[in-house]
Amino acid sequence: MEALIYVSLALNTLVLSPICFSMLRDAEWVNATWGPKTPARGILFSIYTAILLASLYFLTNPDPKMVLALLCVQIVYKVTTPFTVGSFRHPVVVSNLAISAIHLVTVVSILPTLS
């Protein structure tokens, strides 16, 4: 369980660090992927930053119950993106589904340890 927690949190950090930095700098690839800078994209940046900061914190202070909550929220939003985007082929959707599969394995490993 503990190793999988670190895998999921490290994955969040490795994926979200360059995304958040690029969103902050309004990189061209961000515009191509998420569209131009809008209030909606600003909200997405805030959500991604919150997940990144929580993941960084939990890497040094892993609390399985708190990590479980973080990963469950991520799984729900990632699995629903094909329906909100209207495509299973968009690169963000594909990566969201792959990451949610990894997070699901971590969640399943945490559940039996809860009392």
- Residue-by-residue pLDDT tens, the chain, 115 positions: 899 999 999 999 999 999 999 999 999 999 999 999 999 999 999 999 999 999 999 999 999 999 999 999 999 999 999 999 999 999 999 999 999 999 999 999 999 999 7
What tokens does 7 get?
């895998």
In the chain, where the domains are located: 2-113
89 by Cβ neighbours in 10 Å (0-12 / 13-18 / 19+) ranks as: exposed
Q: How far is CA 12 from CA 42, 52, 59, 86, 108, in A?
A: 19, 6, 10, 24, 18
Alpha-carbon distance 108 to 72, whole Å?
A: 10
Q: What pTM value is reported for the model?
A: 0.94
Residues 1/114, Cβ–Cβ less than 8 Å: no
Lookup result for tokens 């999921």: 8
